[in-house]
């Protein structure tokens, strides 16, 4: 085309990319089995969808919950929901994002239209796959095929693959200078923990906090409590190897329940007088959820459930724990409105308002994903 025609008819870059991509992915064919590295076909993005080349992805306990059956999802499936990448192509109608943009997929979308999105207090967008176990795109189909079989999506993200497709409402454009191998953690773990303290609990300066579970999310809660100005932060875990990093990130006291002959809530009551102002359960166990509730001040204490509850399990507890005034809250993605908050959190990281490096213990080539999950399960 001549120069004049090029000006009149813009070069349709994205149309050249709208074809099936064959790439490698970690497919989970059934529960309690290792991931299998397979060649998959990734279909082009449909209307209001975005196809992303994944650069870095984190391993989260929620992914492992699917493997063990604690979080029920259909098989076969491509897991992964904490990642960062570069937009490869966009479907018709996508205006907010273009090929080449650095992005973070959002397992909690923000459509901007449902009641939760429109309410200042809400963030659990109705378009999320969380709790539905559908494993499909919003139109009820999948973009992944392997060996002639349809492969399910996970939480609308599926990041254990070289390429994925997400809905436009489930992707956030971020600072092009951001290191993707670090800020991928803002896609889940860091934001979930940090926000649980700042957004959900709204920790007050000078208060006392207890954090049950010191994985990546728990450590992020510790960071959030410190950023909020908590005067005392109790870090609780049965793995004492986690204590040094917890103290590095702001914990003032580290407690191993195995060191005591009494319930840990009684220990915290004795150490604080009447219990902590805020407690956080960041494990996903029903027994520690009730312990965390009992650990906070009986009248105005706030306890937040951050860990994903296991499927088909119920909680039995003394209702007097709530009758006296305690508040029991849940927190999904730290209470952040994802599409609004993620670019701002990345900007804050770039301004050195918080650190992410201490949350990264290992960096592996992604084909060693099964080794990565072994490290997760052994607390390393």
Give me the active site residues, please: 60, 62, 65, 81, 188
State whether residue 208 is helix, strand or coil. strand
The phi, psi pair for 222, rounded to 5°, reads -55, -45
Give the helix/strand (H/E) hosting 226. helix 216-227
Which of 369, 316, 312 shows the shortest CA–CA distance to 70? 312
Q: Radius of gyration of the chain from Cα atoms?
A: 22
Q: Which phi and psi (to 5°) does residue 137 adopt? A: -70, 165
Residue 175 structure tokens:
């600072």
Six token digits for residue 53: 């080349």
Residue with tokens 């992805």: 57
Q: How far apart are the first and last CA of the chain?
A: 58
Alpha-carbon span 271 to 259, nearest angstrom: 15
Longest dimension (CA), the chain: 83
Contact 356, 349 (CB under 8 A): yes
Task: Determine the Cα–Cα distance for residues 137 and 133; give it in Å rounded to an integer.
Answer: 11
């Amino acid at each position: 085309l001549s120069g004049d025609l090029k000006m009149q008819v813009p070069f349709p870059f994205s149309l050249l990319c709208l074809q099936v991509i064959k790439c490698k992915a970690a497919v989970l064919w059934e529960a309690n089995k290792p991931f299998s590295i397979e060649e998959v076909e990734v279909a082009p993005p449909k209307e209001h969808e975005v196809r992303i080349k994944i650069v870095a992805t984190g391993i989260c306990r929620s992914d492992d919950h699917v493997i063990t059956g604690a979080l029920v999802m259909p098989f076969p499936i491509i897991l992964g929901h904490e990642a960062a990448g570069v937009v490869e192509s966009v479907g018709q109608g996508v205006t907010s994002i273009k090929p080449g943009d650095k992005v973070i997929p959002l397992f909690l979308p923000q459509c901007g239209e449902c009641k939760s999105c429109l309410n200042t207090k809400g963030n659990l967008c109705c378009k999320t796959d969380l709790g539905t176990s559908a494993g499909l795109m919003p139109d009820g189909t999948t973009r992944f095929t392997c060996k002639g079989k349809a492969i399910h999506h996970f939480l609308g993200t599926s990041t254990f693959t070289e390429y994925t497709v997400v809905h436009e409402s489930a992707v956030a454009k971020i600072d092009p200078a951001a290191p993707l191998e670090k800020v991928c953690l803002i896609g889940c773990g860091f934001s979930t923990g940090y926000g649980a303290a700042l957004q959900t609990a709204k920790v007050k300066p000078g208060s006392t906090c207890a954090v049950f579970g010191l994985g990546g999310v728990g450590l992020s809660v510790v960071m959030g409590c410190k950023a909020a100005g908590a005067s005392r932060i109790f870090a609780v875990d049965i793995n004492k190897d986690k204590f040094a990093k917890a103290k590095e990130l702001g914990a003032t006291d580290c407690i191993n329940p195995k060191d005591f002959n009494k319930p840990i809530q009684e220990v915290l009551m004795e150490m604080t007088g009447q219990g902590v102002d805020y407690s956080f359960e960041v494990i996903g166990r029903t027994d520690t959820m009730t312990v965390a509730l009992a650990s906070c001040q009986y009248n105005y204490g706030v306890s937040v459930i951050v860990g994903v509850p296991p499927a088909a399990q119920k909680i039995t507890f003394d209702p007097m724990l709530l009758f006296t005034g305690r508040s029991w809250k849940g927190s999904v993605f730290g209470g952040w409105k994802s599409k609004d908050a993620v670019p701002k959190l990345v900007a804050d990281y770039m301004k050195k308002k918080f650190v992410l490096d201490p949350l990264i213990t290992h960096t592996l080539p992604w084909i060693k994903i099964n080794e990565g999950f072994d490290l997760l399960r052994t607390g390393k």
